[in-house]
Amino acid sequence: MLRQMEIIAEATTSLSDTFKTSHPTVPWRDIAGFRVQVAHRYWDTEWSEVEQTIIEDLPILRNAISSIERTDDQ
């Protein structure tokens, strides 16, 4: 699961600034920061925060991305 989250976070760093600016409700910087934390500073990671992210934040992100997809399809 953690690796998949890293991949998602890494992918957000490839999005254009224009795209990110046009979808300001998604915390793009926080998502990228999460990847840096678990990939490069894993010894200092609060695993309870990772668990909280999985339980609480991923469903919110999924809904936001779905909303973006629906908007872009119109």
Name the residue ranges covered by the structural domains of the chain: 2-73
Non-local CB neighbours of 13 within 8 Å, separated by 6+ positions? 32, 35
| pLDDT tens-digit series, residues 26-72 | 999 999 998 888 888 878 888 898 899 999 999 999 999 999 988 77
35 classed as catalytic: yes
- Spatial contact of 20 and 28, defined as CB atoms under 8 Å apart: yes
Residue 37: per-residue pLDDT: 87
Catalytic residue among 40, 41, 62, 70: 40
Q: Is the pLDDT of residue 17 over 70?
A: yes
Rg of the chain (C-alpha set):
13
Length of the chain in terms of residues written: 74
Could you tell me the pTM of the whole model? 0.79
Q: Which amino acid is at 22?
A: S
Task: For residues 13-31, give the mean pLDDT.
Answer: 94
Residue 74: per-residue pLDDT: 61
Catalytic residue among 3, 23, 29, 35: 35
